[in-house]
Amino acid sequence: MPDKQSFPIIQVIGYKNSGKTTMMNRLIRYASDQGLRTASLKHHGHSDSLEPMHSGTDSFQHHESGAFLTGVEGGGSLQLEFGKGLEVSLRQLINIYENFSPNLLLVEGYKREVYPKILMARTNEDFELVHEIANIRAVVCWEKDMESSIDVPVFHIETIEDHLGELIYLCKEV
């Protein structure tokens, strides 16, 4: 069971090229258009790391001097960089987001976490995640004849724009 927080968290999960980012963008637009302060977080699930801070910058010097966490804020942006070997949990990141009072946090990835999920399923094999991953509340599929003998609502990608509010409702948990 997920920890309680003051805003709902909805995860969008699936395999590579299953439409996760496209679905995130659709949900963000929909929720924002409804007046919700919508935040997003993407898990970089690749083995290569993100672009590090540039050498020669003050924050890079802070890191080189031994800071385990460095941050730069300015012009409406915030960049945090954690030292090598420091594992940051989704819960810790949610705690940071909580300080900015979102009405909704949409998370792309982190499929093994416990929050309500929308599964993006491009193939029948992708449906296997329904049996392997906890807290899937809805599936968005690409093929009309994909498996539908599961205990959660299944939506088709071609008509998903008509069901964005329903997807958010199915996953809301505060």
Ordered domains of the chain (ranges, CATH): 9-48+89-171 (3.40.50.300)
Q: Tell me, what's the pLDDT at 45?
A: 65
Residue found by looking up tokens 């810790």 in the block: 92
- Say whether pLDDT at 19 is over 90: yes
Low-confidence winner among 1-5, 29-33, 144-148 (lowest mean pLDDT): 1-5
Q: Which residue has the tokens 């009072």?
A: 101
What tokens were used for 165?
A: 């509010």
Q: Kindly report which listed range (11-15, 38-42, 73-77, 170-174) carries the lowest average pLDDT score.
A: 170-174
Enter the pTM of the model.
0.87
| pLDDT at residue 174, as a whole number | 46
CA distance 170 to 162: 14
In the predicted model, what is the mean pLDDT of the chain?
Answer: 86
Count the residues in the chain: 174
58-85 average pLDDT score: 82
Predicted confidence at residue 47, as pLDDT, reads 52
What local confidence, expressed as pLDDT, does residue 59 receive? 78
Whether 167 has a pLDDT exceeding 80, the answer reads: yes
HEC profile for the chain? Answer: CCCCCCCCEEEEEECCCCCHHHHHHHHHHHHHHCCCCEEEEECCCCCCCCCCCCCCCHHHHHHHCCCCEEEEEECCEEEEEECCCCCCCHHHHHHHHHCCCCCEEEEECCCCCCCCEEEEECCHHHHHHHHHCCCEEEEEECCCCCCCCCCCCEEEHHHHHHHHHHHHHHHCCC
pLDDT band at 173 (very low <50, low <70, confident <90, very high): low
Q: Which residue has the higher pLDDT, 164 or 82?
A: 164
Confidence of residue 143 (pLDDT cuts 50, 70, 90): confident
